[in-house]
Amino acid sequence: MLRHRTVCIPIWCIIMRTYTVFISTTLLLLGCSGGLHSPNELASLQEITLKGHMLYEYDVASWIASDAVIAQHPDPNNLQYFLAKKDQGQWTVVFGKQHESDKAFLISYEVAIAKDFTSHSMKEYSPPMKDTGWYANAAIALQHSLRDFGASEIKYNYYVLADTSGIFSVYLVPAQTSSDIIPLGGDVCYSVDAQGTGIITKTKLHNSIIAMPKASENTTAGMHTHVLIPTPVETDILYVLRQKPRVQHYVVSSKHIFVIGADGRIRISTER
């Protein structure tokens, strides 16, 4: 059972808590959402839902892995970034830092999460293990995104995913630092090329940050409006899935009202 507490390592804070995971086995063409060409395209809504589930699984895997690593009282100088990767249905989270002289990522801890998220195993590398593949490129993609985003007084979490073509999607999402408030909005998604050498696109997913009160047993639904993108986005799904208890959430755009169910699925409620 995970406890309610705030955990901070460099540029990363999370609220540890209980969770429920719906396992996704679909291979995704990820990339940042930019809205649908037609809101009636059911497949596009399903893809957004699956992206949101991937972000949530990333979140849960990170919670489990961070608990395991922090218990080892690690040297914070070796924990510049953490990176999570899903391969054949299983998440692996590594903690380490970029090599000073070449494009490599030095892994100090590696945590493998069981497919059902009920257990994990951890390896510690001393000296750190040098990676020049996926994790190294993911770290470079993250670094490009953080440099472009700049400094912020608000704490942000990051999520680094890669699609089947090797394009990285880097999400920067305001961190939940209070057990009573879940921030919604203020998030950005970067698409970075497969070698992690440059930003392709930068997509602002919401216009501002809303301090949303945590759902209670009396909460029946939540709601927010969309100005920048005319449909729900994957971080909306992440927001809904992180709630406990989970409740449906309405997204109001200029032409449609969408409903995100407690399971993260999207449907069109009405036309405006």
Quick check: is 257 in a domain?
no
Mean pLDDT along residues 146-160: 94
pLDDT for the residue 20:
42
Quick check: is 245 in a domain?
no
Per DSSP (E only), the strands in 135-271 are 156-162, 168-174, 181-185, 188-192, 199-204, 209-213, 221-225, 248-252, 256-260, 266-271
Q: How far apart are CA 220 and CA 17, in angstroms?
A: 21
pLDDT for the residue 15:
42
Write the DSSP string, 85-96: EEETTEEEEEEE
- Give the count of domains, the chain: 1
Quick check: is 41 in a domain?
yes
At 155-188, the pLDDT tens digits run: 999 999 998 777 899 999 999 888 888 999 999 9
Range of the domain at 10: 5-217
pLDDT for the residue 14:
45
Closest to 196 measured CA to CA, from 106, 259, 104: 104
Quick check: is 247 in a domain?
no
- Report the largest interatomic distance among the alpha carbons of the chain, rounded to a whole angstrom: 60
User: Strand 156-162 and strand 168-174: pairing?
Assistant: antiparallel
Give pTM, 2 decimals. 0.87
189, 168 in Cβ contact below 8 A? no
Quick check: is 249 in a domain?
no
Quick check: is 177 in a domain?
yes
